[in-house]
Structure 1
Amino acid sequence: MIAPQDFTAALASFATGVTVVTVREGRDDIGSTVTAFSSVSLDPPMVMVGVAGSSYLSEVLHRRDRWAVTVLAASQRALAGRFAAEGRPSARLLLGGHPHHRGARSEALVIEGGLAALECETRLRIPAGDHVLVVAEVLGVDYAAKEEPLVRVHRRYR
């Protein structure tokens, strides 16, 4: 059996991009930092996020099919830390005064200044151990790679 701390330590050496997933929930907006993000298909354009099955974001993604993901720039490290908080993260509170807008297709908040923003519609939810993989079709995309991406490796943002 593999010890959880060994598995975590081994995977910490894999550099990954940092995103924030947001979804509108009634009159509130929920958001969380997600590093388990990947492209899945080009035709149709699809992506996947992996979220902790016990998280509030997972609960909301079971009720709401449309959401957004913002790929963070290196200068947005503080936002990544704020959105990594546990509990019921209110995206508007976590954004504070950071510029954002509501996505036309998803109605989710999109963080301005990110390298890319994708508005998505869930097509498949797959239980995977203590996580849920959410596969979605991309309804709209906006990108402007103005700077380096924010990455996470060895349990630190870089």
Structure 2
Amino acid sequence: MTSSNDFLREFARHRGSNRNPHFRMIIPFDFYDGLETGVALISSGGAVRIWSLGDSRSRLFRALGLAPIGGNWLETEWISKQSDTEHGSFLEPDNSEALLKLEADVMAAQATGYFVGLGSPYLNCIEIVEVDEDELNILQQDGPCVENFRRIHSLLKQSR
């Protein structure tokens, strides 16, 4: 089974335009013109907690934080009810108790790594780079902002 950390590391290694991570499903917890916070699942059942770190000036692209979390999330109550969902779907939250529990569990889960990236608000195109916890904390100090978009863009250029 591929861990979500290995999945993101492999994805980050292969650069190119129009990079789609092909998540199995994406579940937004907060949504405003795209994902603000949520979780993305990979085919093996691993998950990636995702949150906005800011938008580009045009608001067409978003700076994102990504934290792989351990476990098999396909077995959770809310996700198992979505089993017939088409691969790559961006799911509609329903405010059910099961979804609220999923959100609490995802937010409380321990990260196994940290990545930041730039991409579309619907996550169908994204470039990422691995960072350490200190780098991530620096980016989060000012909350979501345009400056974080510029900072992450610089990190991505330096990592090439």
* TM category, shorter: 0.3 to 0.5
Structure number with higher helix proportion: 2
TM-score between both structures, scaled by the size of structure 1: 0.32
Relative to the length of structure 2, the TM-score reads 0.32
- Report the structure, 1 or 2, having the larger strand content: 1
